[in-house]
Each structure stands twice: as structure tokens, then as C-alpha cells.
Amino acid sequence: MLLKLRSLNMPMKLEDVCKIAGNGVAPGRLHVARAMVDAGYVENLRQAFSRYLYDGGPAYATGREPTGESVVQLVCQTGGVAVLAHPWALKNPAAVIKNLKAAGLHGIEVYRSDGKVSGLSDLADTYELLKLGGSDFHGRDDKEEPDVGSVDLPVLAVFKFLEIAKPIWHNAIKEIFASISERTTDLNGSNGFRRISSAGDFCILRLSSKDSELTDASEVEVLRAELADIGLTPQ
């Protein structure tokens, strides 16, 4: 990719791209795009992709990547919830989603910052997949990136997600319990409720309810007691 950019009179050093990616992170197209912005070759990330780095673009280069099926299987084998991001970018999403479902896929991204993608919602129903969403936050603090947690999800979508996530994330959930207990803030001193507003925080509220499958764990019971006065804040 860098060689192709050099041939287009946009030379950049691999060291600079790796620095943008950060320690322990494999550099990719996004990091190259940010390096292009920093070098002044393009005005923003969108321009870098639309002009040079899109699939089949003048600076695009394929890498050695595992199959989607093998990635889904690995996620499932290592205790994760496998969700397909950006399915609208696929040429044939129905066929891909069908194959990934057979490999163990749990859900697909349906909700974006600009709303719900109806066609993908139908596909999720067809293959009985979770309907999830994200802000596409990649960790860089700039005006171009939406903040983490900035996409609203329906409560029902969160409930369905928890049905899958609870048995998978048992240990992680206990850690989140403790974290949310520490960072919730007082909402009303008279009724003792504390505010939670993000989908992540709502997960904790749901998991702290009496019907949670984690009730047998004594450490979770202690955390549940600490979280008993947390309520949802109306939007």
C-alpha cells in the first residue's frame, strides 16, 4: 500500500504509520489514511478512502486474511460474542451472513449513527441474529470520529444481547459490576437512585436483576447489593 502511494507521489514511512497505530497494533488501511491526513496529502479520512484506499482503489492492496468463517469460530472458541460489522459494505450480504451463521455468528450491525438499516434488520430476522450497532469509534480523539457509545440501541435489542452474553461473559460481567458501582453518580438524594444512560450501563442494570443466572455466585450477590439503587434515566 505504501509502495503504491509512493508511485502516486505520496511517499510515507512505515515507521510513521506504525506510530499512528500504536504499540502492539497491526497497522492497516485506517492508519495509512491517518498518515495521509497528517502528511497533508488529503483533507480527511473520508477523502483518503474515497480517492485512494477504497477496495480496488489506486493505493489499495490485499493482505493475507483468514476467512470470515474461521474468525467467527475463533471468537466463539475464545469466549466472545461474534458480530459482523458493516454488513452493508458487502456485495452479497445475504450469502455471507448465511455462511457466517452456520459458523456460529451471533449478530450483525444493524444500527448506525444515522439510524437503522431496514434491509439488514430483515436479514437478522431471517437468520435469527442479534441486531446490534456501534459508533465505529477507533480510538482517535478528533472531530471526525463519533464517540464510543454514541449509537442508541432499543432496550429489546440489549435484552436479547444479554441472553447470549451472560453465559459467555460471566467473569467479565463481574468486573463490570464492580466498575459501574464505582462510577455511577447520584441522581436524586431523596430516592437514592443513580443515573445510568448508556447501553453498556443498562446491561449492568439488567444483569443485576433477581432473575440473573449469576445469583449463585456470592461475589456477584455482593455486587448486586451495591447496584440495587441504580435506575435508568429517561432520554
pLDDT digits (tens, 9 = 90+) for 155-183: 788 888 888 887 777 655 666 666 665 65
- What is the domain partition of the chain in residue ranges? 2-53, 68-165, 169-232
- Three cell numbers at 64? 493475507
Query: What interhelical angle do 14-21 and 29-39 show, nearest 10?
Result: 110
Mean pLDDT of the chain: 78
Tell me which amino acid residue 12 is. M
DSSP percent split of the chain into helix, strand, coil, nearest 5 = 50, 10, 45
- Three cell numbers at 56? 480496488
Tell me if 45 sits within 8 A of 144, measured CB to CB: yes
Q: Determine the longest span between alpha carbons in the chain, in angstroms.
A: 68
Q: How far is CA 200 from CA 161, 186, 208, in A?
A: 11, 18, 13
* Residue of higher predicted confidence among 20 and 211: 20
pTM of the model: 0.52
Overall size of the chain counted in residues: 235
Cα separation, 222 vs 228, in Å, equals 10
Under CATH, which architecture does the 68-165 domain have?
A: Alpha-Beta Barrel (3.20)
Q: From 102, 152, 154, select the one nearest 128 (Cα to Cα).
A: 102
Across the range 48-59, mean pLDDT stands at: 94
Tell me if 137 sits within 8 A of 161, measured CB to CB: no
Confidence of residue 185 (pLDDT cuts 50, 70, 90): very low
pLDDT at 210 over 70: no
Cα separation, 164 vs 146, in Å, equals 27
Tell me if 208 sits within 8 A of 223, measured CB to CB: yes
Residue 78 exposed, middle or buried by CB count within 10 Å (0-12, 13-18, 19+) = exposed
5-9, 16-20, 86-90: range with lowest mean pLDDT: 86-90
Cα separation, 13 vs 7, in Å, equals 13
The predicted-structure confidence for 212-232, as pLDDT tens digits, reads as follows 554 445 655 565 566 555 544
